Amino acid sequence: MADKKELQEKALAYRILESRLEPMSKQRDLLLQRMAEIESTLESINELRRNKDEVLFPLGSTAYTFGKITSNKMIVEIGAGVALEKTPEEAAKILEERKNEVEDVIRKIQDQMVETANRLEILAPELESMVEGHENLEGG
């Protein structure tokens, strides 16, 4: 026999768990976008290493121009608004490290999402059973 207080506590626990899934999903999606940006940048760096001739530079609003790379250095943000001049190899290494860090965070978030979903799966039938039991008591 489920008492009303226990039912309310389980319902609250369910709502709390449910409310955690959406922010985790949004955070994961943002990190997946970040990962795509990093991978795209790494591809561009590799292309610059292979192709020393003219390259396309984005001007913004889907407009591009051709240009030549005149230096073997690029500017890479290293955090806290600080950017340093690096070789393509150094820049690629920094970006690979960032990519690995982002992958780790994505993995942790996905693990948390799975754990939360599993807890919801366990809690849902318990809650449903308690609600039915409570309704039967009040109705009968």
CATH class of 4-139: mainly alpha
Q: What is the mean pLDDT of residues 11-19?
A: 95
Check whether 139 has a pLDDT greater than 50: yes
Position 1 scores a pLDDT of 46
Choice between 134 and 139, residue whose per-residue pLDDT is larger: 134
Position 14 scores a pLDDT of 95
- When pLDDT is cut at 50, 70 and 90, the band that residue 24 belongs to is very high
**Dihedral (Cα; 73, 77, 82, 88), 10-degree rounding:** -20
Long-range own/partner contacts, residues 18-23 (CB < 8 A, 24 or more apart): 18/120, 20/116, 21/113, 21/116, 21/117, 21/120
Read off φ and ψ for residue 95, nearest 5 degrees: -70, -35
pTM for the complete prediction?
0.78
Residue range 42-85, pLDDT digits in tens: 998 998 888 777 888 889 999 999 988 888 899 999 989 999 99
Residue range 79-131, pLDDT digits in tens: 899 999 999 999 999 999 999 999 999 999 999 999 999 999 999 999 988 88
What are the boundaries of each domain within the chain? 4-139
Task: List beta partners, residue 54.
Answer: 68
Task: Report the run of H or E that residue 70 belongs to, with start and end.
Answer: none
